[in-house]
Chains A and B, each alone.
Chain A
Amino acid sequence: MFDILKDPHALITHKEHWKDYYLFTLESPIIASRAQPGQFIMVRVSSLPYPLLRRPFSIHSVGGKKIEIFFQKSGVGTSLLSNKITGDFMDIIGPLGKGFSWSQHSKTQDIVLIGGGRGIAPLYFLAQKLHSVGAAPKIFYGGNTKDDIPLKEKFEQKGFEIYCSTDDGSFGFRGLITDCFKDQLKNLTPKQIFACGPEPMMKAIYQVAVRKGIPAEFSLESVMGCGFGACWGCVKKIKTKEGTEWIKICEEGPVFSSFEIVWEEQEK
């Protein structure tokens, strides 16, 4: 935990956006040097008291002294952040949490990464790392429409094999990314799944993974108060030696394995 750093002067060196999706490149050498796929940063949105809390963002990629974050404008906090421009500073804390256990997969070729919507964010960094150790992960990337899968080209340009789906059929497989994945299981025999996205998507993948006996890890999203374990606000029910417990996503997660997560019954 002593690897956590507050960097109030992470310089925005590059910004891109597609409709409501934003990609920021931040210069933060120490955080970049320590970051692992699946970890996140907490970003201060405003120096004023509103919006009050920092917002959590997965580390989308690391290159040299720089990290990237990828997010969707969806509320007051992300709207304010989206107005930041190249040359501005961001006040960030990181790297936080425990990431994906990717390092043992150097010789595993059949790895599948599944991202839904903005949940694709941490999977690019993971794909980078897997690639660097000689693995060739296959990417499944789904969104509501073709506008919701803006990072498709980015993966393609790096030579990753990518399968896309859109709910409305405007690009790729028509339907959910989980169905697209199930469809491809005719041809694939994954040895490991890593996923991030809306909870129903991850739960569906979990069910497939369990049925097929494929190890899987999931990166969970949560409202967070602090991001470093002090507020106990971001819990998920996790299986422990004693049964189940509310475990802090920020500290013990955000990545958990299929064996750990207790999926909630579908409400509403």
Chain B
Amino acid sequence: MIDLSVDFGFIKLKNPVLAASGTFGYGIEFSPFIDLNKLGGFVVKGLYYSPRPGNPPQRLVETPSGLINAIGLQGIGVKKFAEDILPQLRKYQTAIIVNVCGETEEEYAKVVDFLNKEDGVSLYEINISCPNVKKGGLCPAQNPESTYSVVHLVKEVSARPVITKLSPNVTDIVEIALSAQEAGSDAISLVNTFLAMAIDVETRRPKLANTLGGLSGPAIKPLALRMVYQVVKHLNIPVIGIGGIMTDQDALEFLIAGARAVQVGTANFVDPEATLKIIQDIQRYCELNKINRIEDIIGTLNE
């Protein structure tokens, strides 16, 4: 029997495959397709304290092997999440991670403070890619000081371990990762989407109503893998790899590069069973290669 579990110190996951925030709804949307208990865990859609209207359409553009989205973090807010969604999620025996958003640093803390009182949440993932309304729309992810500041504040309030999710739209990802670690983050996940755009050449208008959006999907995988590789070398907290993972091979690349787990994102839209297939295929890979524990493959890149 192959041991697919991965130990983060503060939590042990059944297996290294999680579903990524923003691609998995609030989890229950996938219950017609897969047994959520079989996942290493899942990260629900980013939650602000209050409901968010989101951006006008068009919100999605498909590009070669990629998807640009500008949803604008539309969401139901923490209260409705706690009332309507969490009771449905509590029956699942898997890590349930809430992606925490904020228009200000205080809002992140407010979300965490509210959810601390609710059972059924395993961890928080701080989405530091949210535009800060007090700082001209700059998001905390864009510099080490504001990353430190928001992570530090959340850690002070949080009753649960905290993952910080990094944006790839920075000059030096390692610097930001170190900053999050220094602020007390228990783990790092990367990457969020790459800032991108598409233009309709007939109308010469941006294809997205928001002009800019975030690129995800297989197109970004090599970029994301490179960033995970760079970050892992410098950190002593666990790293979760995210970016364009569609298959077990993709997931294994991130694990070999040193990620302790991965998040599957856009693949969930294409195939709502993608996460479970990846888990099965990782298992098969281990069998074929006589690997007894998935942990034995983490960070084993031959250079």
Residues in A lying within 8 Å of B, measured CB to CB = 1-6, 44, 49-54, 93, 222-226, 228-237, 245-246, 268
Partner of A230 from the list B23, B62, B65, B217 (CB cut-off 8 Å) is B23
Are the CB atoms of A223 and B60 closer together than 8 Å? yes
Apart from A229-B25, A232-B45, A246-B57, 14 more pairs, CB < 8 Å: A1-B32, A6-B272, A44-B271, A53-B62, A53-B270, A54-B269, A223-B62, A225-B67, A228-B29, A228-B32, A229-B29, A232-B59, A237-B56, A245-B53
Are the CB atoms of B269 and A6 closer together than 8 Å? no
Q: Mark B233-267, 1 if CB is under 8 A from A, else 0.
A: 00000000000001000000000000000000010
Interface SS of chain A = loop
Known interface pairs A50-B64, A226-B268, A226-B272; A231-B32 also in contact (CB < 8 Å): no
* B214 sits at the interface (CB 8 A): no
Residues in B lying within 8 Å of A, measured CB to CB = 22-25, 29-33, 45, 53-62, 64-67, 69, 71, 74, 203, 217-218, 246, 266, 268-273
Partner of B32 from the list A2, A223, A268 (CB cut-off 8 Å) is A2
Are the CB atoms of B74 and A226 closer together than 8 Å? no
Are the CB atoms of A235 and B64 closer together than 8 Å? no
Q: When chains A and B are docked, how far (Å) is the Cα of A50 from the Cα of B269?
A: 14
Are the CB atoms of A246 and B69 closer together than 8 Å? no
Contact partners of B29 in chain A: CB under 8 A: 1, 228-230
Q: When chains A and B are docked, how far (Å) is the Cα of A234 from the Cα of B54?
A: 12
Give chain A nearest CB distance to B37 CB in angstroms: 16
Known interface pairs A6-B33, A51-B62, A223-B60; A232-B272 also in contact (CB < 8 Å): no
Q: When chains A and B are docked, how far (Å) is the Cα of A160 from the Cα of B25?
A: 42
Q: When chains A and B are docked, how far (Å) is the Cα of A54 from the Cα of B268?
A: 11
Q: When chains A and B are docked, how far (Å) is the Cα of A136 from the Cα of B8?
A: 65
Are the CB atoms of B32 and A233 closer together than 8 Å? no
Task: Kindly report which residue of chain B lies nearest to residue A236, judged by CB atoms.
Answer: B57
Are the CB atoms of A231 and B71 closer together than 8 Å? yes
Q: List 26 A-B pairs, Cβ < 8 Å.
A: A1-B32, A6-B33, A6-B273, A44-B270, A49-B218, A52-B217, A52-B218, A53-B67, A53-B269, A223-B61, A224-B60, A225-B60, A225-B67, A225-B69, A226-B272, A228-B32, A230-B272, A232-B54, A232-B74, A233-B59, A233-B69, A234-B57, A235-B54, A235-B74, A245-B53, A268-B203
Task: Kindly report which residue of chain A lies nearest to residue B269, judged by CB atoms.
Answer: A226
Q: When chains A and B are docked, how far (Å) is the Cα of A231 from the Cα of B72?
A: 11
Contact partners of A222 in chain B: CB under 8 A: 57
Are the CB atoms of A246 and B270 closer together than 8 Å? no
Give chain A nearest CB distance to B133 CB in angstroms: 20
Q: Which of A2, A52, A93, A233 has the most CB of B within 10 A?
A: A52
Give chain B nearest CB distance to A268 CB in angstroms: 7
Contact partners of A230 in chain B: CB under 8 A: 23-25, 29-30, 268-269, 272
Give chain B nearest CB distance to A264 CB in angstroms: 9
Q: When chains A and B are docked, how far (Å) is the Cα of A159 from the Cα of B201?
A: 45
Contact partners of A54 in chain B: CB under 8 A: 269-270
Known interface pairs A1-B32, A44-B270, A268-B203; A231-B23 also in contact (CB < 8 Å): yes
Contact partners of A1 in chain B: CB under 8 A: 29, 32
Known interface pairs A5-B32, A50-B64; A232-B71 also in contact (CB < 8 Å): yes
Partner of B269 from the list A2, A3, A225, A236 (CB cut-off 8 Å) is A225
